[in-house]
Amino acid sequence: MTLLANILIDGIAYGMVLFIISVGLSITLGLMRFVNLAHGAFAMTGGYLAAWLVGAQGWPFGWGLLAAVVLTGLLGAVLEALVLRRLYRRSELEQVLFTIGLTFLFVATANLLAGPEVQLIPLPAWLKTPVDLGIRTLPAQRLLVIAAGLAVLALSALVLGRSRFGIWLRATVDNTGAAAALGIPVKWVYAATFGVGAALAGLGGILGAELMPLEPYYPIKYLVLVLVVVAVGGMGSITGSAVAALALGTIETASKYLASDWGSLFFFLSMALFLAWRPQGLLVARRA
């Protein structure tokens, strides 16, 4: 019983981190049809910035986190406006190659600036204190991760469903040309969406630093994980990504607890099964 609770709590926390990181990728893939393998690099950037601001500069955790997330978002928006925008019309293979190259550049830069060691984000006292849930005590940090995941899910659903920006975004996803003809600032929507996606990846990188340690190879190591979540969840489907992230996160955690010597076998096996069952995404019915 305790084992089951452990698996569930850790799995959900892990899944929430995966979800927060992959939301942005899911939207860019759905919106711009842009295969961005450099998405994990934004998560790493957020984590590194937070580690630098909180650790070396001595900022309070909350402010450091906020600044790191905003800066990562800005970096994403600038990159989109300057370079990535030119690649939307290119073939899938070219996008894959470019963003792999970009990832390598991020890895090398991270090593150049901070060295090959694992970066730690010092947690404030209120996040280290264990919280008693009745079944088990767990660090407040886990609770923060789960809460943040739920908040991102709720907020993005609200923004997409209710706000003016959400309407623009959905219109642009459905038909960019028509949306532009109707006066929607399509380019601005692209840059803003990309920036928000990068910022969320940064948030995920910071919150998940305990589960996915920050090191220069971070973007390559966790790239596949994030891509799997997006592919299984369905491109552009936020709820799909959440379901996929929670399911895969729990499966990965369970296999770590129960069958650690099999590595990530069950993770990829379940991914293959999910994709075979619903190639368009978990919540999308197969197109006829």
Partner 1 sequence: MTSLSLHAPPLWRQVLPYAALLGLALLIYFVFPDQLPMAARIAALAIFVMSLDLVVGYGGLATLGHSAMYGVGAYAAGLLATHLTGNPLLGLLAGACAGAVLALLSGLFLLRYEGLTFLMLTIAISQIAQNLASKLRQWTGGDDGLSGFTIQKILGLASFDLQGRVAFVYCFAVMFICLWLMRRLMASPFGLACVGIHQNRQRMAALGTRIRWQLLKLYTIAGAFAGISGALAAQVAQIVGLDSLGFELSAEALVMLVLGGAGNLWGALVGTVVFASIHHWASTLNPYHWLFIIGGMLVTMVLVPRERWGQALSRRLQLFRRAAAPSGASS
Query: According to CB under 8 A, which one of 102, 146, 189, 199 is a site residue for partner 1?
Result: 102
| Residue 105 engages partner 1 in binding (rule: CB under 8 A) | yes
Longest dimension (CA), the chain: 58
Select from 1, 57, 58, 86 the one that contacts partner 1 (CB under 8 A): 86
Residue with tokens 């990530």: 264
Q: By CB under 8 A, tell whether 276 contacts partner 1.
A: yes
Number of Cβ atoms within 10 Å of the Cβ of 215: 19
Q: Which is nearer to partner 1, 38 or 145 (CB)?
A: 38
Contact yes or no for 101/95 (Cβ under 8 A): no
Give yes or no for residue 161 binding partner 1 (CB under 8 A).
no
Residue 68: CB minimum distance to partner 1, A: 23
Find out whether 180 and 186 touch, Cβ atoms under 8 Å.
Answer: yes
Q: Can you point out the beta strands (E) in 77-193? A: 130-132, 137-139
CB nearer to partner 1: pick between 105 and 158: 105
DSSP category for residue 119: B
Q: Is 117 in the site for partner 1 (CB under 8 A)?
A: no
- Among positions 189-208, residues that touch partner 1 (CB under 8 A) are none
Reference 149, options 241, 27, 286; nearest CA is 241
Type of residue at 151: A
Query: Taking CB under 8 A as the rule, does residue 284 contact partner 1?
Result: no
How many residues appear in the chain?
288
Applying CB under 8 A, the residues found at the interface with partner 1 are 29, 35, 83, 86-87, 90, 92-94, 96-98, 100-105, 107-108, 111-112, 116, 216, 220, 224, 227-228, 231, 235, 261-265, 268-269, 271-272, 275-276, 279-280
